[in-house]
Structure 1
Amino acid sequence: MTQQWIDYCLTKRGTSLTTPFGPEVIVMKVGTKMYALFPSDGTPTVSLKCDPLRADLLREQYPEITPGYHLNKQHWNTVALDGNLAKADIQGLIDHSYELVVKKMTKAERESLMLA
Structure 2
Amino acid sequence: MNTSDLLSYCMSKAGAEQRVHSDWKATQILADGVLFAMVHEPEGRPAVSLKTSPALADLLRQQHADVFPSAHLNKSHWSTLYLDGGLKDSQIYYLVDASLQQALATKAAGNH
Shorter-chain TM-score range: 0.7 to 0.9
What is the Cα deviation at residue 104 of structure 1? 2.6
Aligned-partner SS, 2:6: helix
The runs of at least 4 consecutive aligned structure 1 residues that moved more than 2 Å come to 40-43, 104-107
Q: Is the 8 A contact 1:18 1:27 kept in 2?
A: yes
Q: Is the 8 A contact 1:26 1:39 kept in 2?
A: yes
Indicate the percent of aligned positions where both proteins have the same amino acid: 33
Does residue 65 (structure 1) correspond to residue 44 (structure 2)? The answer is no
Uncovered stretches (5+) of structure 2, i.e. residues with no partner: none
Q: Counterparts of 1:17-56 in structure 2 under 5 Å? A: 17-19=18-20, 21-22=21-22, 24-39=25-40, 43-56=45-58
Uncovered stretches (5+) of structure 1, i.e. residues with no partner: 108-116
What is the Cα deviation at residue 45 of structure 1? 0.3
- Give the number of aligned pairs: 106
Q: Determine the structure 1 residue equivalent to 2:91.
A: 89
The RMSD of aligned alpha carbons is: 1.9
The normalised TM-score by structure 1 is 0.83
